[in-house]
Structure 1
Amino acid sequence: MVDTSAISATQAYSKSMANSASGKNSGTAVGTDEVVNGQSFAEMLSDASGAAIENGVASEQVSLDATTGTAGLADIVTAVSNAEATLETVVAVRDRVIQAYQDIIKMPI
């Protein structure tokens, strides 16, 4: 199951910031070539969407286990809260992408 707790999100953010900071020299001039070590934005987005899908599948599996009576109440509550957090994250990212697109469309040429 994918861990979507606040601690894991904070650790992932810290790791991302450390990767971006290590790939850039402080005080570089604008326009100089920089080698960025780490994932591209597309790879990061692909990994995040894959993790969200895996979380959804795991939650569905727990739901199926609950209908057969093999899952405990704690497992069900954990799966539902993880699915809810993942859905809220996906919706927030979607809203930000739409807002960015609308801001770009409004820019004067």
Structure 2
Amino acid sequence: MATSSFAAGAYASTQGLGAGNLMRKPLGAAAGASAGMPDFSSLIGKALEATADAGRKGDIQTASVAAGRSDIVDVVTAVAESEAAIETLVAVRDRVIAAYEEIMRMPV
């Protein structure tokens, strides 16, 4: 089933995005980069790229159905994957904005 494999892939790709990994401080900027720990901006960049890839896949599948080379089930699956990726990205964005607002409310 394509939906369960997508869910498993999404889960595997977001393992590094957990709160524990985001809150962990590297020993230093150079040490973190050399240790292979990605920074927050690279994680967000990867999430954006994955979302864009899901959208492109949906577009390709839609064009394939229009040309008669593909099945409608493939289009529905690709569009559902794209929708799930966008919803996840929006949820992450909302959490980042909420965290920023919370930091701004802290007394100096």
* TM-score, normalised with respect to structure 1: 0.69
* 4+ long deviations beyond 6 Å: none
Q: Deviations over 1:35-90 (max 9, x none)?
A: 33222222222122111111111111112222233220221121111111111111
User: How far off its partner does 1:10 sit?
Assistant: 2.8
Identify if the C-alpha distance between structure 1 residues 100 and 33 changes in structure 2 by more than 3 Å, giving closer, same or farther.
closer
**Number of residue pairs matched?**
95
> Which is bigger in relative contact order (C-alpha 8 A, separation at least 6)?
1
* TM-score, normalised with respect to structure 2: 0.69
Q: Which runs of 5+ in 2 are unaligned?
A: none
Q: Which runs of 5+ in 1 are unaligned?
A: 25-31
Q: Which has the larger radius of gyration?
A: 1
CA RMSD after TM alignment: 2.9
Q: Which has the higher helix share?
A: 2
The amino acid of 2:43's aligned partner reads M
Q: Distance in 1 between matches of 2:101 and 2:107?
A: 12
The amino acid of 1:93's aligned partner reads V
Q: In the alignment, which residue of structure 1 is the partner of 2:83? A: 84
Identity rate of aligned residues, in percent? 32
